[in-house]
Amino acid sequence: MIPVKIKSTIPGPKSQEIVTRAMEVIAKAQYAGLFGIAVTAGKDAYLTDADGNTFLDFLAGASAVSVGYGRQDIIDVYARTAQKIQHSCFPYSPNEEAIQFANKLIQVTPGDFDKRVLLGMTGSDGVDAAIKIARRYTSRPGIISFRGGYHGVTGFSLSANGFSGLQKGLFISSDFVMADFPRTEQAAETTLAAVEALLKEGNYAALITECIQGDGGNVVPPPGFHKQLAELVHHYGSVHIIDEVQSGVGRSGAWWECQTYDLVPDILCCGKAITSGYVPMSACIARAEMAQTLDKAQHLFTYSGHPPSAAVAMKVFDIIEKDHLIQNAVERGEQMRAGLQKLVDRYAFAKEVRGRGLHMGFEVYDDRTNTPLGGLFAFRCAEKGLYPGYFGSKNEVMRLHPPLIVNKEEMQFAVDQITEVCEEWDTGTFPQQTIQNYRQFGVGLGTD
């Protein structure tokens, strides 16, 4: 039995009231609401909003909640550690929990070489760490990244962010240069040539990329592209940084998506799912000889290595291993792909199902009316009790990133809802009211 329950319009009156009050006190730079919903509770793979609607969650708090909501075992680990010592400021006084977690990260990340870990609080600061390291190691200023790549909103991570709208008016340094992320073999050749021309200048410290562009719309490059890119980067003495903040910790059907491309980056950045949303935490794992070029205190925080957070992260990794959640991501991902591929075969507006494991996107676009449908279809799904995300430059892609604990029946429910929505669009029975509500309440990250 799938315990979803929809009792109100989406968004309901109580959610609307909360969002209105939020906007009275929180700057609009921190709001990109998808459905105008305020979530108030979670259990396993389900979310409940302020109006008592319960949804099957296919967004996982922006790809963070890997092992599910409301887990007493994780809450107990936090409480036990916090009772002992809730904070010591690791840079002044290291603690056992953070040391253990750093060791775990060293073990499970690719690369059989000496590494060092830098702990932080959010994916953006993990990316900042990587860029600092690359610059100190190479003594070069330049950073190459990709249009449509998302790397965060702190100083260096925002500078490398391929969502140019987010950089508006912020005087980003011209040391940060963007290339086009390819979708075809031909585009890959053009990009590789453009990147090589830049690298030849000898000014570039690093290239940073996601393997599959997440917020850009789950964009998958042609096979072989990343390998060739990594070879070029190394050939010109630059540092290869892979951003796994969204894709990492099992979501792709491997610990790290870069493993599915047979890549061993010099630096790997992660965040989000390392603590499954129970506490904020991030990490940057780098070759030791690179990491150690940063001087004392060049990248530390009051809260880096926070003991209860590190203990929670260890517990999350433990659960992923013991419950075989990476294998589940592979199997449920295949199930989702098979279900959605039928829609691609049937409907012209269902363009593509793409990604790996549970790092999946479904592009929907109506060419006849020139309408991107990702946001609209996600909104309709929410009305049916499925809570996905949407992204891509035009909000043309449904973001299907459920918790890694999603089971077979839940996946079938999700595919059924998406199928119904496609049928409604095809037969002209898609509710007008949903279109109006989406226009009124859907914000999202898409910028076009």
Ligand X SMILES: Cc1ncc(COP(=O)(O)O)c(C=O)c1O
How is the chain split among helix, strand and coil, in percent rounded to 5?
A: 40, 20, 40
User: Taking a C-beta distance cutoff of 8 angstroms, is the pair 439, 385 a contact?
Assistant: no
Answer for which of 54, 124, 276, 434 binds ligand X (CB under 6 A) is 124
Positions in 277-336 near ligand X (CB under 6 A): none
In angstroms, give the least distance from the CB of 173 to ligand X.
19
Asked if the peptide bond before residue 11 counts as cis, ω within 30 degrees of 0, the response is yes
150 binds ligand X (CB under 6 A): yes
Stretch that binds ligand X, among 11-19, 96-104, 120-128, 423-431 (CB under 6 A): 120-128
Among 123, 250, 333, 446, binds ligand X (CB under 6 A): 123
Q: Which of 170, 175, 178, 171 is nearest to 151 (CA)?
A: 178
CB 280 to ligand X: min, Å? 8
SS3 at position 59: coil
| Site for ligand X contains 221 (CB under 6 A) | no
Q: Which residue is nearest to ligand X (CB)?
A: 123
CB of 326 to ligand X, least distance (A): 19
How far is residue 121's CA from residue 369's CA, in Å, rounded to a whole number? 43
Closer to ligand X by CB, 149 or 333: give it. 149
Show the site string, 356-375: x = touches ligand X by CB under 6 A, - = not: --------------------
Counting contacts by CB under 6 A, is residue 410 touching ligand X? no
Contacts with 346 (C-beta within 8 Å, 6 or more apart), sequence order? 422
Q: Give the one residue of 71, 135, 140, 151 binding ligand X; rule: CB under 6 A.
A: 151
d(CA 435, CA 375): 10
Contact at 8 Å (CB) between 41 and 369? no
Candidates 37, 70, 56; CA nearest to 336 is 56
| Contact stretch for ligand X (CB under 6 A) within 53-61, 145-153, 354-362, 387-395 | 145-153
Q: In the set 122, 252, 393, 395, which binds ligand X (CB under 6 A)?
A: 122
What is the dihedral sign for C-alpha 37, 161, 179, 260?
Answer: negative
Site string for ligand X, 61-80 (x = CB under 6 A): -x------------------
Distance CA 166, CA 169 (A): 9
Distance of alpha carbon 435 from alpha carbon 427, whole angstroms: 15
- Interaxial angle between packed helices 185-200 and 225-235, expressed in degrees from 0 to 180 and rounded to the nearest 10: 10
Location of structure tokens 């990702």: 374
Q: Of 210 and 352, which CB lies nearer to ligand X in the complex structure?
A: 210
**Least distance from C-beta 150 to ligand X, angstroms?**
5
* Subset of residues 242 to 281 that bind ligand X, contact rule: CB under 6 A: 243, 245-246, 271-272
Give CA–CA dist 299/128, Å, rounded. Answer: 9
CA distance 413 to 58: 11
Instruction: Please identify, using beta-carbon distances, which residue of 127 and 343 lies nearer to ligand X.
Output: 127
51, 128, 210, 383: which one contacts ligand X (CB under 6 A)? 210
C-beta closer to ligand X: residue 2 or 172: 172
Identify which of 258, 284, 305, 262 has the alpha carbon closest to the alpha carbon of residue 134: 284
Residue 93 CB, shortest distance to ligand X, in Å, is: 26
User: Which DSSP helix (H) or strand (E) runs through 241?
Assistant: strand 239-243
Residue 187: C-alpha distances to residues 9, 182, 232, 348 (Å):
44, 5, 16, 24
The count of residues interacting with ligand X (CB under 6 A) is 16
**Nearest approach, Cβ of residue 127 and ligand X (Å):** 6
Q: Which residue number, 12 or 392, has a Cβ lying nearer to ligand X?
A: 392
User: Which of 11, 12, 120, 152 touches ligand X by CB under 6 A?
Assistant: 152
- Looking at the DSSP bridge assignments, the partners of residue 269 are 243, 284
Stretch that binds ligand X, among 133-141, 149-157, 363-371, 383-391 (CB under 6 A): 149-157
Residue 99 or 166 with smaller CB distance to ligand X? 166
Q: Which residues bind ligand X (CB under 6 A)?
A: 62, 122-124, 127, 150-152, 210, 214-215, 243, 245-246, 271-272
